Structure 1
């Protein structure tokens, strides 16, 4: 049901939709019982599903019998939302750019926050200087990690990565690796690109800090290049 919530349903709507799939068609009272909801909450969820086009009902003997819509409707909703986003995002971007501060810092929470920041890397980076990765992205978000790397390669983004000596990370088509001695693993990964610094702090609930400041980014780049110049080329030793 968590996936249904990520598709835009409330928790109760997700529970009711799943119950309707199991029941086939059902009266509101039986649906509420199946979900473990009171009748009022079940009715609210049913009305929400009706408004979203994800449920329907037929009146038989003055009684409403509810039924879930075909799950393919989620794909149709996604297509409609994508079409709407394509239409309005350029207008919203103009407003955002017009009012955007020359220097700002934003904090993001959780895996969705990390994804938001890395999507910014994909949109804006021509070259990404990365420091401190211990492979956390692949461990914590394996599906997104594969897509992220594939999209970096497709866009031709060059990655320079400084890692802890002994990590065993080798060069790849899009990535050049150097290493430095470090006593212990680091939970912090820093990405430097364009005029931005993206810092990801991995933990039970990861956090991501996105800094947009030309002078700060230049200082980080200069420091990175200094360390890069003195780092070892083989990280497997």
Structure 2
């Protein structure tokens, strides 16, 4: 993923990302200079800079009667994320008052796309361990942040056991610490992962598709199957 795309993913618009990155490269500049450098209308560049100032990501000083802009601390990129986190936390607490208390014993959810994978991984990383079979590494490759998140999880004492095909023996995922791999010569296009009372089954061939099952007994049954496979799989 390009820097512009990553900046957009952090909460900036396309124009904000272009202006911010250019300003970061040159250190400080007038709106006119930035507009000229990136081929943007001066008025638009000025408007974008004002939006970035409102977000706390750009500041300015007056030199010889002109506004000279510069980027704030890089940590300011977290401002929007932190604000959204606080807002969403408050929203979740409010929504819990409407949530049905008589939820069914077994809960099944279906997700699609990369955001579905993110939902699955965010849930999985809440647990200290997981077991997975049929792993292909495609979900890991689909999200640019996978490696960083996995390392953070491992840093917090997370560990996992994974059964995959021999052909994935040199995949990047096999280099992660606290991750133990065994191999079976079985072709599988879907990956099954057990963590806590959850079982997730996903494919990531084209558009990711995830089935998430929350049931203690089902999770235990799948874990029993995993343990049998783990015994016969080769290190």
TM-score (norm 1): 0.68
Asked whether 1:18 is paired with 2:17, we answer: no
| Superposed displacement of residue 107, structure 1 | 1.3
Change (3 A) 1:81 1:7: closer
1:129-166 CA deviation, whole Å, 9 max, x = no partner? 31211344565568633652562474455x44333367
Aligned-CA RMSD value: 4.0
| Superposed displacement of residue 229, structure 1 | 2.2
| Superposed displacement of residue 104, structure 1 | 4.3
What secondary structure does 1:8 align onto?
coil
Change (3 A) 1:231 1:166: farther
Asked whether 1:211 is paired with 2:212, we answer: yes
Asked whether 1:199 is paired with 2:201, we answer: yes
- Aligned residue among 120, 124, 136 for 1:121: 124
**How many angstroms apart in 2 are the aligned matches of 1:176 and 1:94?**
38
After superposition, where does 1:28-43 map in structure 2 within 5 Å? 28-43=31-46
| Superposed displacement of residue 59, structure 1 | 5.2
After superposition, where does 1:1-237 map in structure 2 within 5 Å? 1-21=4-24, 22=26, 24-26=28-30, 28-58=31-61, 64-70=66-72, 72=73, 74-76=74-76, 78=78, 82=82, 85=85, 91-98=90-97, 99=99, 102=104, 103-110=107-114, 113-123=116-126, 125=127, 127-136=129-138, 144-145=146-147, 147-148=149-150, 151-152=153-154, 154-155=156-157, 159-164=160-165, 168=169, 179-182=183-186, 184=187, 186-203=188-205, 207-214=208-215, 218-219=217-218, 221-226=220-225, 228-229=227-228, 232-236=231-235
| Superposed displacement of residue 2, structure 1 | 3.0
| Superposed displacement of residue 177, structure 1 | 5.3
Change (3 A) 1:95 1:196: farther
The count of aligned residue pairs is 222
TM-score (norm 2): 0.69
Where in structure 1 are there 5+ consecutive unaligned residues? Answer: none
